[in-house]
Amino acid sequence: VEVITIELPGKSCRIEIEHGLLSRLGERIMEVRKTEQVAVVTDANVDRRYGATVRRSLRLAGLKPLWIRLPAGERYKTLRTVERVYDRLVQARFERGSLLVALGGGVVGDLTGFVAATYLRGVDVIQAPTTLLAQVDASIGGKTAVDHPKGKNLIGAFHHPRCVVIDPNTLSTLPRRELISGMAEVIKYGVIYDAEFFGYLERNMKAVLNLEKEPVAHMLRKSCAAKAFVVQHDEREKDLRRILNYGHTLGHAIETATGYRRVTHGEAIAIGMMAAGRLGQSLGLCGPEVVLRQKNLLERAGLPTALPKMPMGGIVKAMQLDKKVKGGLVHFVLPEAIGRVVVRPVGWDLIKKALRPTGWG
């Protein structure tokens, strides 16, 4: 088993990666906490594919979990669903020493994490992420949230999982578009933190997308290590952690302006990364080869690098409402080289100019 540990004041979080690990989830749970009160929260899609394996594994470990199955999809990441989960926990008289397990993608992970942060002022949670996005990003770092009708992730809390259990086998049933979408965050880690890893992806993208075992394990290990490093050094998102927002300033604006329907999160981030690269180049922070290498790798992963045809006004408006925008300047994470970024405030004129080659205007 590959193990990455995040050490934080007063707590630590283990990230474990191994093919087939879900069939040993019961044993992993017992190692984290010996309790009879375990609830598994999952969604209908994941339950259908992995529910039996996980139930068997928990039974073998002597556990009889409370099984909470939610409908799948972002539109259920709401306080109403949170309440449904609270109801089940209260009915089953779950106590402070109980443990929640989030089995699913980022939606299940964020929602279960939020329940764990708030139920009885906090109970332990184990994340068992089953999408690439959740394995390399959402399950790590302790950010939990649900959506409000006025916006995504508006209600949340910081609450680290005790353990993140990653079984790369789950990626084999993921729709292709979801897999590719998660790859945007993977490539992001190369650009913001790890030039050597970026080079590895350039050489092995095909093997990773074909889900060959060793390349996939390496990709997960390096991605989790990058996120773990950043989180460990900046738990509450004050400074360093901002670099994780690379590609997200424009990315979020695209998602908002398209009503979260036309492009996936990863596709929007890929376009945002290209915009940030071009901005970095036009500010003289990096050379054209940085932008070109990034473009080639994103394209090899099957990600878009140009803006979809859409009115520019919506995107600009969405960016202006972004919480990272201060005093008319947008704070962009910009590349200096592959593996190194800086945060700089940038004015609107330059933003519009730099975005033109991505298909804008």
Positions touching ligand NAD (CB under 6 A) are: 43, 45-46, 49, 72-74, 77, 104-108, 110, 130-131, 133-134, 137-138, 141, 143, 153, 170, 173-174, 178
Q: How far is the CB of 174 from ligand NAD (least distance, A)?
A: 4
By C-beta, is 16 or 178 nearer to ligand NAD? 178
The single residue of 93, 121, 236, 323 carrying the catalytic annotation is 121
The single residue of 14, 159, 188, 248 carrying the catalytic annotation is 248
Q: How far is the CB of 103 from ligand NAD (least distance, A)?
A: 9
The single residue of 24, 45, 245, 295 carrying the catalytic annotation is 245
In sequence order, what are the residues at sequence separation of 6 or more whose Cβ sits closer than 8 angstroms to the Cβ of residue 30?
A: 61, 62, 63
DSSP state of 328: T
By C-beta, is 48 or 96 nearer to ligand NAD? 48
Active site residue 237: yes
In the numeric block, the tokens 């009915």 are attached to 91
Residue 206: CA atoms inside 13 Å, Cβ hemisphere, count? 1
Q: How far is the CB of 108 from ligand NAD (least distance, A)?
A: 6
By C-beta, is 227 or 278 nearer to ligand NAD? 227
CA distance 300 to 202: 8
Active site residue 121: yes
By C-beta, is 104 or 335 nearer to ligand NAD? 104
Active site residue 248: yes
Active site residue 19: no
Active site residue 7: no
Q: Are 57 and 25 in contact (CB under 8 A)?
A: yes
By C-beta, is 46 or 346 nearer to ligand NAD? 46
In the numeric block, the tokens 């890893």 are attached to 197
What does residue 288 show for φ and ψ, rounded to 5 degrees?
-65, -25
Active site residue 241: yes
Residue type, 343: V
DSSP 132-190: HHIIIIITSSSEEEEEETTEEEEEEEE---SEEEE-GGGGGGS-HHHHHHHHHHHHHHH
Q: Are 266 and 184 in contact (CB under 8 A)?
A: yes
Active site residue 143: yes
The single residue of 178, 185, 235, 267 carrying the catalytic annotation is 185
What does residue 310 show for φ and ψ, rounded to 5 degrees?
-165, 155
Crossing angle for the helix pair 176-192 and 195-209, to the nearest 10 degrees: 170
By C-beta, is 29 or 46 nearer to ligand NAD? 46
Q: How far is the CB of 47 from ligand NAD (least distance, A)?
A: 9
User: What b-and-e string marks burial along 69-81, b requiring 16 or more CB atoms within 10 Å of the CB?
Assistant: bbebeeebbbeeb
Active site residue 160: no
Q: How far is the CB of 28 from ligand NAD (least distance, A)?
A: 18
> What's the start-to-end Cα distance of the chain, in Å?
49
Active site residue 265: yes
CA distance 112 to 244: 23
CA distance 170 to 133: 12
CA distance 157 to 281: 36
By C-beta, is 123 or 134 nearer to ligand NAD? 134
**Active-site amino acid positions:** 121, 143, 185, 227, 237, 241, 245, 248, 252, 265
